[in-house]
Amino acid sequence: MSNPVSPTIRAGFKGTALITDASSSVGAIYADRLARRGHDLILVARDRQSIDAHASFLRDDTGQSVQVIVANLEKKLDLRRIERELRNDSSITLLVNNATATTSTALMDSDANCLCRIIDLNVIALVRLTHSIVPAYVRRGWGSIINVAPVSGIAREVPNVVGGGARAFALAFSLGLHKELSQGQIRIQAVLPGTSATDFWDTLGSPLEDLPDRVVTEAEELVDAALAAFDEGELITIPSLPNISDYVAYEKARNNLVPHLSFRPSSARSEVSSL
């Protein structure tokens, strides 16, 4: 039995993609690529001037509808506005959770309010926006979510334990969401960028020029690789990882461990190894 399609989605129309932090390097490139694939856009960003200019260019260059919403997802009222948009706009078929934040400052040297803002953006906003769109996807029978969460979710001891922990949550959340929604045609992809040539480094105060070229991925390369993997149905995409079999082995080891995590401790076990 085929899934009904919302009458607001016209023939040949891929639906609307809502992209958070759409004025950033990665967000702006996602907007460009998705518009050229036939998506209308809702671009969420903090700064109206920069996002309005990009939206105007995309409208003129692609002919797609491009809506702008100025919002700071760290603020509850702004976050609630985007939640309502996701619940009420039946044309939305793709959510790109691209808003992220971190710091390179050690925990003891960090301001607690700053750390909580990282959690608000990387965890709370991610959960609330996803929670807002999933019911519509389930009713329709299909839809997609792309969660952009830098690779520090695996290498989570750097650069900051809170930032790394928040990205680790995004990875675990994506894996769990994929399993929970596996009965329908709802696509989940977690994109884990490595070191990328984006404006992220400016916010950290760490010059990108100090890093060797071999570890830096251009933002265009990152998004194009991620979308190619999305087309192939990939759940976890690490564009900067040379050999994907390394992650496959990592995930296999984790899955092999899972069935053994909840046994009564053996009385013969006299010492615990330290990681």
Residue 60 in tokens? 């003129």
**Count of the separate structural domains present in the chain:** 1
| Residue 24 resides in a domain | yes
| Cβ atoms < 10 Å from Cβ of 226 | 26
- CATH code, domain with 55: 3.40.50.720
| Residue 133 resides in a domain | yes
Q: Quick one: three-class SS letters along 68-107?
A: EEECCCCCHHHHHHHHHHHHHCCCEEEEEECCCCCCCCCH
| Residue 107 resides in a domain | yes
Q: What percent of the chain has pLDDT over 70?
A: 81
What are the CA-CA distances from residue 215 to residues 53, 71, 112, 193, 265 (Å)? Answer: 31, 33, 31, 11, 43
Span 222-247, pLDDT tens digits: 999 999 999 999 999 998 888 888 98
The rounded distance, in Å, linking the Cα atoms of 119 and 105 is 15
User: What pLDDT is attached to residue 155?
Assistant: 74
| Residue 258 resides in a domain | no
Work out the average pLDDT over 27-31. Answer: 96
pLDDT band at 39 (very low <50, low <70, confident <90, very high): very high
| Residue 113 resides in a domain | yes
Q: Is the N-terminal amide bond of 159 cis, ω within 30° of 0?
A: yes
Residue 248 in tokens? 């496959």
Span 129-155, pLDDT tens digits: 999 999 999 999 999 999 998 887 787
| Residue 6 resides in a domain | no
| Residue 125 resides in a domain | yes
Q: What is the extent of the structural domain holding 231?
A: 16-248
pLDDT at 82 over 90: yes
Residue 11 in tokens? 């023939």
Please give the model's pTM, rounded to 2 decimal places: 0.85
| Residue 33 resides in a domain | yes
